[in-house]
Amino acid sequence: MTIQPDLAGVSFAANLAAFGDRPAISVGDRSISYGELAQLVGAMSRSFGPARRLIALEAESTLSSLTVYLAAMASGHPLLILPPGGGQASEKLIAAYDPDIVARSAHGDCVLDVRRDETRHDLHPELALLVSTSGSTGSPKLVRLSGASVQANATAIAEYLHLRPSDTAATTLPLSYCYGMSVVNSHLLVGASIALTDLSVVDPCFWELVRSRHVTSFAAVPYTFDLLDRVGFERMDLPSLRYITQAGGRLAPEKVRSFAELGQKRGWDLFVMYGQTEATARMAYLPPDQAVVHPHAIGIPVPGGAFRLEPVPGLDASELVFSGPNVMLGYAERPEDLALGREITELRTGDLARQGPGGLYEIVGRRSRFVKIAGLRIDLGQVERILSDLGLSAAAAGSDEIVAAAVEGDRDLALVAKTLAQDLRVPRAAVELYSVPSIPRLANGKPDYPAILALSVRPEPAQPEDVLHADDDNSPATTDSVQRIFADALERQDVAITDSFVSLGGDSLSYVAVSVRLEKVLGRIPQGWHTMPICELVPAPDSAPSGYLGKAGAPGSVGRAVQKWQSKLLASMETGIVLRAVAIVFIVATHIDFFSWQGTAHVLMALAGYNFARFQLTGSRRERLRRQLRAVARIVVPSIAVIGLAFVVTDDYRWHNVFLLNSLVGPPGWTDLSRFWFVEVLVHILIGLAILLVIPGVDRALRRWPWGFPLVLAGIDLLQRFDVIELPYPGQGPVLWLFAFGWAAAVSRRWWQRAAMTALALLTIPGSFPSEYRSATILVGFLILLWIPTLPVPRGLHLITALLASSSLYIYVTHWLVYPYFDEFSKGLAVAASLAAGVVYWALATRAMGNAERWLRARSCARRNVQRITS
């Protein structure tokens, strides 16, 4: 049958072109105007043909899927929403309702499977949407929605959210879920924008999208707020965010209050909402200014809707009943029901409620045995039937957090719980099965559901205060506080308690800042902390501090007094940090002739190899290559910037200095052009290793012989020591072997490996350099690095040592330009000015590079989003 004029589709979908060139949809870097979207929708509508037919859509968060949805809404074709991803649930619905056209997702596109040119169904003129009730995905029981209901609910939502054309919503929920669908409907109604994505809120790319697209809102179910806590949402800078909406189940009142208060501080609103698919999406909302005061309430009816409370016989409570233009036509359980018109005018919600102060409604219980988890309505009777089909005698209870079931008999229920969670499409943690001798029952023989639910009740863990401050020595360490340190120092927002410093991309340049802050909160950090997950770094509240001996080995009163005196004067710092700080001071002082102590630059070369082994050799070959190239960039960029400036303002350097090539193409021997030899050689080594280690065979060799591999590299380079080969390094001779020695030292886990490294150092370092005391400095520095994990530092020098170590590279490249301005007045002043200038440059450059990395990450996220949505 052809579409009649009075069967025109839903107006917000049919009138997209009215908003002209306003941006409608953004997908990655691509922006689609309302005019362009109207053309896409029109073309799709024409592909459906003139006859009104039943269309089934595997609804995903893609442009093609959205186009099919809007085309059906605009042209009046009833649309059956299928779950995303296809599978058994989709096939059940297709088999039950036999749609005329099936739009399936394939590689980010929608492929139309046209089964017939004319419909075989009797389709009611008002029918627009067929949607599964929450949690009944795959069930033949569907909600029948009219086009007027969809339009009315979109209008009501737009009114109470005060939506405007300048708003942009990110699609945090799937289009197949009525809540996610309502976000699209209400925004397109007013000419606002949709940032189309399927990224999770735990993905840092999602937050880059929020910033780059100036997202003003996103939708959340209760589980989303747990994820927001995990990713450090409270610390995020999101200037465009105007509000967050919450629905899909009850959010704990304490969370409502917490996020509402956070929103008040940060300038955005929290809209707590209540709805059901049977009401097209929304029935009530809690005004944001009431969320802190009345966090238990669902609020007031949406515009155009009304509640009434109907007493329930036998219960001292009333059922919440809703009426409004967004109430469904009725249910469909078979194809013949598609011909039915309106069967109900008000919706019995099944929830028990009361009306409190200010006319706010509050849910106090459920009349039916349903719970809602992660936005999905779970039928507890169906849970019992599933378990019965598995041959188990069970009774199920639940809350908006878990399904708990008592199962008779002594059984191993782990696999059963996993299977049940998959069938219910809820997280595995939301299903708890308990083996019991017999099901708890009331006196009348019915299952005692409160007693069954009580099986899942555990004592609430003590909530540690969120008290980490970088300058508070008395603050107890918590996983959250350590997560914050990692997030701040590494500029990451996706830090989980299972992450480590290395897995998050930490390197030697950020290592100092993190280790110093960790020492301040933890008191002492274990050796190898950079590879330990955060949850292992933080001691249990009742555990003894590291090094505690217990009563039998505890020091006496005199010993405790000495320890207390020492702790007031000295603080332990990691040896590598102290060596970096001391070495850079000695290098600058020697170059300025304040005093002379040569060899510390070569100690830094060994330390560079040591840090390379700790930070650059984990993960897959691709991950490792990315991390190594990032480390090279963080050395090259600030170095080239300074040397380039020196090339422009002085006559002391050449173009090959700027590009760090003097060691290869510059004049032989030591000249003034060789001043940046350390940076040049280090960069050459790092680039060479990045290329070498990406070769599969080399990668396998490294993994098989992690200690022997760097020694082979050292042996090859030491051939120059015996004049077998010769390379044009400017006056410094070969240094790769020192880098490799540091690498081997880092992976020396056993005493005999450290002993072997000591022997190798004694055999090779003395005599390798023109000066004996230079050789001695290098030897002593290397042995300290090899054998001594921490060194005592006066507390007054703790911060200075950390600053000098963090900025050592920046001091090295800038001091050549700084000290000549002070040298004739005072060499001591020249040293101090050079160190200070390097620290300032470090602070400015790291911030600039951090901003650049965030921009690049945003671009990468945008490209990923395009690939996910439109590829």
For 554-576, write each residue's pLDDT tens digit: 344 444 454 555 556 777 788 99
Do 862 and 29 form a contact (C-beta atoms < 8 A)? Answer: yes
pLDDT at 1: 37
Reported as type and span, the H/E element at residue 267 is none
Compute the C-alpha angle 540/545/548, nearest 5°: 135
Instruction: Name the residue with tokens 């690095």.
Output: 785
459 has a pLDDT exceeding 50: no
pLDDT at 378: 82
pLDDT at 725: 65
Residue 726: CA atoms inside 13 Å, Cβ hemisphere, count? 6
Q: What is the mean pLDDT of residues 838-861?
A: 82
**All residues at 6 or more sequence positions from 168 whose CB lies less than 8 Å from its CB, including other chains:** 26, 192, 193, 194, 195, 213, 214, 215, 216, 217, 240
pLDDT at 770: 80
693 has a pLDDT exceeding 70: yes
762 vs 855 pLDDT, higher one: 762
262 has a pLDDT exceeding 50: yes
* DSSP line for 51-110: B---EEEE--SSHHHHHHHHHHHHHT--EEEEPTT-SHHHHHHHHHH--SEEEEEETTEE
* Most confident listed range (142-156, 490-504, 666-680): 142-156
Paired tokens of 678:
């350390």
465 has a pLDDT exceeding 50: no
Do 861 and 204 form a contact (C-beta atoms < 8 A)? Answer: yes
Distance CA 64, CA 47 (A): 13
The model's confidence at residue 226, banded by pLDDT at 50, 70 and 90, is: confident
pLDDT at 827: 95
Among the listed residues 793, 683, 801, 796, the one whose alpha carbon sits nearest the alpha carbon of residue 739: 683
pLDDT at 80: 96
pLDDT at 486: 77
70 has a pLDDT exceeding 50: yes
pLDDT at 867: 62
Distance CA 487, CA 473 (A): 20
Angle between helices 178-190 and 147-160 (to 10 degrees): 70
Backbone angles phi, psi at 30, to 5 degrees: -90, 135
850 has a pLDDT exceeding 50: yes
Q: What is the mean pLDDT of residues 249-261?
A: 90
The model's confidence at residue 31, banded by pLDDT at 50, 70 and 90, is: very high
Return the bridge partners of 195, or none: 26, 170
pLDDT at 275: 93
Q: Residue 627, exposed/middle/buried by CB under 10 A (0-12, 13-18, 19+)?
A: buried
**What's the length of the chain?**
871
The model's confidence at residue 745, banded by pLDDT at 50, 70 and 90, is: very high
pLDDT at 866: 62
pLDDT tens column, 71-114: 999 999 999 999 877 777 788 899 999 999 999 877 667 889 99
Q: What is the mean pLDDT of residues 723-738?
A: 66
468 has a pLDDT exceeding 60: no
* Most confident listed range (420-434, 654-668, 804-818): 804-818
Task: Indicate the range of 279-288, 570-579, 810-819 predicted with least confidence.
Answer: 570-579
Compute the C-alpha angle 490/867/108, nearest 5°: 140
Distances (CA, A) of 584 to 56, 603, 811, 819, 838: 69, 10, 7, 14, 11
Paired tokens of 217:
């809102």
Distance CA 269, CA 289 (A): 8
Among the listed residues 844, 777, 815, the one whose alpha carbon sits nearest the alpha carbon of residue 585: 815
pLDDT at 452: 87
Q: What is the mean pLDDT of residues 305-326?
A: 90
Looking at every residue in the chain, the average pLDDT score rounds to: 84
Distance CA 715, CA 493 (A): 43
pLDDT cut 70: percent of the chain above it: 83
631 has a pLDDT exceeding 60: yes
pLDDT at 869: 57
Q: What is the mean pLDDT of residues 30-46?
A: 95
Q: Pairing relation of β-strands 127-132 and 142-146?
A: antiparallel
Q: What is the mean pLDDT of residues 319-329?
A: 96
pLDDT cut 90: percent of the chain above it: 51
* DSSP line for 805-848: HHTHHHHHHHHHHHTHHHHTT-HHHHHHHHHHHHHHHHHHHHHH
DSSP state of 358: G
Domains and their CATH numbers in the chain: 5-365 (3.40.50.12780), 376-454 (3.30.300.30), 471-543 (1.10.1200.10), 575-794 (no CATH)
pLDDT at 550: 33
Distance CA 39, CA 29 (A): 20
Paired tokens of 602:
């070569």
Task: Indicate the range of 356-365, 528-537, 815-824 predicted with least confidence.
Answer: 528-537
Distance CA 583, CA 121 (A): 83
665 vs 587 pLDDT, higher one: 587
Paired tokens of 451:
């007693």
Do 858 and 616 form a contact (C-beta atoms < 8 A)? Answer: no
The model's confidence at residue 315, banded by pLDDT at 50, 70 and 90, is: low
Q: What is the mean pLDDT of residues 659-688?
A: 90
pLDDT tens column, 354-402: 998 889 999 887 776 778 787 777 878 778 888 888 888 899 988 878 8
Return the bridge partners of 370, or none: 379
How remote is the C-alpha of 738 from its chain's centroid? 38
* Most confident listed range (424-433, 455-464, 854-863): 424-433
Kindly provide the b/e burial profile for residues 122-144, where b requires at least 16 CB atoms within 10 angstroms of the residue's own CB.
ebbbbbbbbbbbbbbbbbbebbb
362 vs 722 pLDDT, higher one: 362
Distance CA 16, CA 8 (A): 14
Distance CA 555, CA 543 (A): 18
pLDDT at 88: 74
The model's confidence at residue 18, banded by pLDDT at 50, 70 and 90, is: very high
Coil vs helix vs strand at 372: strand
864 vs 23 pLDDT, higher one: 23
pLDDT at 619: 62
Coil vs helix vs strand at 491: coil
538 has a pLDDT exceeding 80: no
Coil vs helix vs strand at 595: coil
pLDDT at 802: 87
Kindly provide the b/e burial profile for residues 602-619, where b requires at least 16 CB atoms within 10 angstroms of the residue's own CB.
bbbbbbbbbbbbbbbbee
Q: Quote the pTM value.
A: 0.56
Angle between helices 575-592 and 827-870 (to 10 degrees): 130
How far from each other are the two terminal CA atoms of the chain, in whole angstroms? 36
Q: What is the mean pLDDT of residues 397-421?
A: 85
pLDDT at 204: 84
Rg (CA), the chain: 34
What sign has the CA pseudo-torsion 528, 530, 535, 537?
Answer: positive
pLDDT at 556: 44
Q: Residue 593, exposed/middle/buried by CB under 10 A (0-12, 13-18, 19+)?
A: exposed
pLDDT at 720: 75
Q: What is the mean pLDDT of residues 255-278?
A: 95
Among the listed residues 863, 868, 861, 860, the one whose alpha carbon sits nearest the alpha carbon of residue 198: 868
Among the listed residues 210, 206, 200, 204, the one whose alpha carbon sits nearest the alpha carbon of residue 169: 210
Return the bridge partners of 185, or none: none
Distance CA 145, CA 326 (A): 8
Compute the C-alpha angle 324/325/330, nearest 5°: 95
Coil vs helix vs strand at 663: helix
DSSP state of 311: E
704 has a pLDDT exceeding 90: no
Q: What is the mean pLDDT of residues 648-662?
A: 91
696 has a pLDDT exceeding 80: yes
* Most confident listed range (34-38, 361-365, 480-484, 751-755): 34-38
pLDDT at 407: 92
